[in-house]
Structure 1
Amino acid sequence: MRRMSRRGFAAAAAVGLSGLVTAGLAVAAELSGGDGGGGGGESDDRGRRDPAGALRGMWVSTVANRDWPSKPGLTAAQQRSELLAHLDTAVKRRLNAVIFQVRPTADALWPSPHEPWAQYLTGVQGKDPGWDPLGTAVEEAHARKLELHAWFNPYRIANHTDPKKLVASHPARTHPEWVVPYGGKLYYNPGLPEVRAFVQDAMLDAVQKYAVDAVHWDDYFYPYPVAGKAFDDDAAYAAHGGKFTDRAAWRRDNIDRLVKETAARIKKIRPGTKFGISPFGVWRNAATDPLGSDTRAGVETYDDLHADTRKWVRENWIDYICPQLYWSAQPLDQDVPANYAVLLPWWAEVARGSGTQLYIGEALYKAGDPAQPAAWQDPAELSKHLTLAKKHPEVRGHVFFAAKEVKVDRIGAMARVVADHYQGLARTPRPF
């Protein structure tokens, strides 16, 4: 996700987005009054109280050793110690859920019969690290009264295009017909039914083995568009396109099938385990679709990633949606393609009456980053987000990207959130 930082790849998608968002200046003016800060704050205690059972989460990203482990090749004891430290940080920050990336690039952070051990553990793909990170994470998170959401990336294979760099037994090498190189990376082809079945089997092996509280996906479905490049699924479309005369509609149907089938299989394998998705924050711009948000984002999940995120919520296919609203809520100008204060009520309206819980993905990684606009140099920016969210009862929690920033807290933005909004001890998120 937008990471080259986490969302390290999706952030790249946001680079260069431009345009003007027409948006709630009244809301922005209200927020600029600083009512989320400690010191002033809301005099009514009800406004400061976290909703009963609201989710307070953080992502722990493992791709490219973003959050954990700090580098490949640590001993099993060192890796375990670092992982437990992240769980302890979550408790210290009064959180109640950790979203742990366990399948970053068509690999595994548990002993999987389908895919190799992730190279981010030992530095060598397929090498046994000598312990079970996912099993340990589930056990230790639950011991701390934290939920453990297992985070999977369905289709990303590698952040390069050379299959020979993959371990010889990798399914992408034994089934080269499944693979599409695109934009400097390798992906499984979502248009192949056999791929859809395989990635489900690979992910759900973890659900079968461990008492994970949720299956979690982020924003990668079809890859983010790369200028001048085409995703080569011609053969798959010819073989499986069937009635679809519009390839984009066929691609969306492929992702819809993955979502629906996975949801059904989770309920069959481990009833009570939730299924949540954290998409890029813009479904469609209003200029594209009157049902869309009043934004000018250069990426729209419906059209570019072929992910109809709004439909999944309205049809109640998933248990929760956690859109990545990685924009500030400050007054708008021509340089911002979207705005937190615009997208928050849009998503609240989408979730209203659907039965799908709404959590909000928060860009803690931007707080204090000197490369970010002035709004992100304000330690109170994220606290203001949570203050705004309290006006929308559909919002049932927030998730912070990511663990490294939750710990380091560059300018005290996370501490401000805790002081202003997480005064009480975290309770287990309310059952679905």
Structure 2
Amino acid sequence: MDVSGKRSRVVSLILSVILSVFLLVPNISYRVSAKDVMTLNAGSATECEVRAVWFSFRDWQKYLQGKDKAAFTSAFETITDNILGAGCNTLIMHVRSHNDAVYPSAIYPWSSEMLMGVDPGFDPLSIMIDIAHKKGLSIHAWINPYGFRNGEYCGDASLATHDNIIAGIEEILKNYKVDGIHFDDYFPVMDASIHNKLVSDVYKTCHKYGKVFGISPTGNVDNNIAKGADIVTWMSVPGYIDYIAPQIYWTNMYKSDGSVTLFSNRLLQWITLNKLGLPMYVGLALYMAEAKPASDLGWSVSNANIMMQVTELRANNQPGFILYSYNSLLSPACSAELANLKGLYNSAPSYKVAMTEDEATNTYTIAIDPGHQAHGNSEKEPIGPGASTMKAKVAGGTKGVSTNIPEYELTLNIALLLRDDLLSKGYNVVMIRETNDVDISNAQRAQIANDAGADIFIRLHADAVENGSVTGATALCQTSSNPYNGALYTQSRLLSECILSSYTQVTGIKSRGISETDTMTGINWSQVPVTIIEMGFMTNAAEDQKMNDPEFQLLMVQGLSSGIDMYFASK
């Protein structure tokens, strides 16, 4: 990227922080003009990341319907606690779904789907806003403007007029301190000019009250265009929306054989269409972890899809996401996906050093994968994109014959030291894990490096054989004929040679040479130059003790780091 491109990203980052504050701080009362909002571009600081959840009319039916005021208040208190517990900071709450409302309205009847069509004797929306803001949650009013679902208008279809929709939105903004208005993807097929007139008028109404307006279209670009949802205009011409939230509900192992990186493909489409640089809060399908459709293998073989998707959003400077839906936060079938996502919140895997724009242009990013984890995972995954051959997601690893220290602890210790050393040299670093209690498969580890735009991917391991006299370090890379990433062979081989040579010279550990193999899942899924460094044998008592000695570990890190320097110097 040239210097001007870097400057643009810095400006985008600053502007995104401003918008994130506007979206997330509940009681901002200042007015915002169209110019103020529409000139804000996507770009993200993760500390201001929008982490939202949709609470749909179906969630209403399960958790809020049929309650008196006291029970409703108590239930919603629990709901907000659960949302905060999931690491989210924004609630997208369904308030109009079927040409009806969950608040006393002069235009719409009481909601049949959410409140059984009767006056509950209190104002649910007022209670929800008060509680959400008290807890520090931003709350946006989610509206299906036409009450249109499954090819038909719901409730009283005569209410689905342009004037009623605008008046209904003004009714909400005039009477309630919501933080924004949110449309879903249920647009009936109409000429784009009709939808555009409505969207533009909603935008003007929201800005009249100093609130933001966003739309969550389906993630399939062609489907939107076919029904007149003119996403191209909304994202290229000022005056329509303040943010876009495309529902990109597919994994990067799409199809029954996992051969299509559909999430990345669709994300790139939306980024390309977003000519205004609007904040994009991508809709993510947490519920698919329970549905597990046969047409999308990723949901069946991985429980870190959402985590990897958020990592990719961050790598592409997108400022947040929305999870569908609240019920999935509580579903046991979704708990592993959610736990991995929360692990991403709780760690800081990506590190960037402060530098000038000219320096940043030449800065390399290194992804470091400390091999294994506290508990292996014997479930199977394809050894490469589209492969029919399957291997265990993560092997258990070995442990020191003398120290009894597990391999996963050794690799993490070295990785953390290497991270700090590389940062001190001015490299950017992406850590695949920073704790031992994770569940990240080998394919997922490679995908994290890919999504982060790493320049190289270093995988740290230690060796083991039955013969306790065997010693030495090995580097592994793919063959030149690797069916998944053979084009990376030359660079991966060079990377392996540089690091192994430097590592063995500095530490004095014997070199066992380079091993070329196409059987390693973590290598096959990598889209950047990659090497596995087997740092020594934990089944050899002396080598085990050396590798776990704090002073010797500094030599190990020096050797690895110098090898990385050597690789980039040779390019």
Superposition TM-score, scaled by structure 1 size: 0.64
How many Å apart are 1:333 and its aligned residue?
6.4
Question: CA, structure 1 residues 77+336, in 2 after alignment: closer, same or farther (shift >3 Å)?
Answer: farther
Residue 337 of structure 1: how far off its partner (Å): 9.1
> Separation in 2 of the partners of 1:161 and 1:254?
18
Aligned to 1:83: 76
Residues 208-231 of structure 1, C-alpha deviations (whole Å, 9 max, x = no match): 1111111000101115xxxxxxxx
Q: CA deviation at 1:369?
A: 2.3
Mean CA deviation greater in 315-324 or 406-415:
406-415
1:252 maps to which of 182, 192, 195: 192
Alpha-carbon deviation of 1:382? 1.1
Q: Distance in 2 between matches of 1:160 and 1:281?
A: 18
- The C-alpha deviation readout for 1:134-172, integer Å capped at 9, x for no partner, is 111111111111110100011126879799xx6xxx6x4
1:349 and 2:272 are equivalent in the alignment: yes
State which of 325, 330, 335 in structure 2 corresponds to 1:402. Answer: 325
The one-letter amino acid of 1:396's match is P
Separation in structure 2 between the aligned mates of residue 364 and residue 146 of structure 1, nearest angstrom: 20
Distance 1:278 1:158 in 2: 15
1:264 aligns with one of 204, 225, 241 = 204
Q: Secondary structure at the match of 1:102?
A: strand
1:51 pairs with 2:46: yes
Q: Which residue in the other structure is 2:188 paired with?
A: 222
Q: 1:14-37 deviations in whole A, cap 9, x for unaligned? A: xxxxxxxxxxxxxxxxxxxxxxxx
2:162 to 176, 191, 196: 196
Distance 1:56 1:360 in 2: 10
Is contact 1:103–1:152 with CA below 8 Å preserved after alignment?
Answer: yes
Residue identity (%)? 25
Residue in structure 2 matching 1:379, options 294, 298, 303? 303
User: SS at 2:52's partner residue?
Assistant: strand
SS at match of 2:83: helix
**CA-to-aligned-CA distance 1:334-353 (integer Å, 9 cap, x gap):** 8999811101122122225x
Q: Which amino acid aligns with 1:340?
A: F
Describe the shift of the 1:152–1:57 C-alpha distance in structure 2 as closer, same or farther (beyond 3 A). Answer: same
Q: Which of 135, 138, 152 does residue 129 from structure 2 map onto?
A: 138
**Match for 1:83: what amino acid?**
F
* 8 Å contact kept, 2:257–2:297: no
For 1:334 and 1:380, the matched residues in 2 are separated by 18
Q: Distance in 1 between matches of 2:185 and 2:241?
A: 15
2:26 pairs with 1:60: no
Alignment CA distance shift 1:162-1:312 (3 Å): closer
Q: 1: distance between equivalents of 2:150 and 2:128? A: 26
Greater share of strand:
2
Aligned to 1:116: 109
* Distance of 1:405 and 1:156 partners within structure 2: 24
- Structure 2 unaligned regions, length at least 5: 1-43, 349-571
How far apart in 2 are the matches of 1:409 and 1:265?
41
| 1:90-101 mapped onto 2 (5 Å cutoff) | 90-101=83-94
In 2, the alpha carbon distance for the partners of 1:71 and 1:266 equals 28
Query: Partners in 1 of 2:273 and 2:279 — Cα distance?
Result: 11
Structure in which a larger fraction of residues adopt helix: 2
Query: In structure 2, what is the equivalent of residue 416 of structure 1?
Result: 340
Q: Is the CA contact (8 Å cut-off) linking 1:329 and 1:341 kept in structure 2?
A: yes
Please give the secondary structure, in 1, of the residue aligned with 2:127: helix
Which sections of structure 1, spanning at least 5 residues, go unmatched? 1-48, 173-177, 180-187, 189-194, 224-247, 285-299, 425-432
**Which whole-Å deviations, capped at 9, do the CAs of 1:188-224 have from their partners, x for residues lacking one?**
3xxxxxx21111112221111111111000101115x
Asked if 1:275 is matched to 2:213, the reply is: yes
Aligned-partner Cα distance in 2 for 1:211–1:85: 21
Equivalent residue for 2:315?
391
- Give the distance between the partners of 2:145 and 2:310, measured in 1 at CA: 30
- Whole-Å separation in 1 of the counterparts to 2:86 and 2:45: 14
- Whole-Å separation in 2 of the counterparts to 1:98 and 1:207: 17
TM-score (norm 2): 0.49
In angstroms, what is the RMSD of aligned CA positions?
Answer: 2.7
Alpha-carbon displacement from aligned partner over 1:366-410 (angstroms, at most 9, x marks no partner)? 0132445431132111111112222211x1101000000012252
Residues 148/335 of structure 1: CA separation in 2 closer, same or farther (3 Å cut): same
Contact 1:67/1:404 (8 A) holds in 2 = no
**Alpha-carbon offset, residue 313 of structure 1:** 1.2
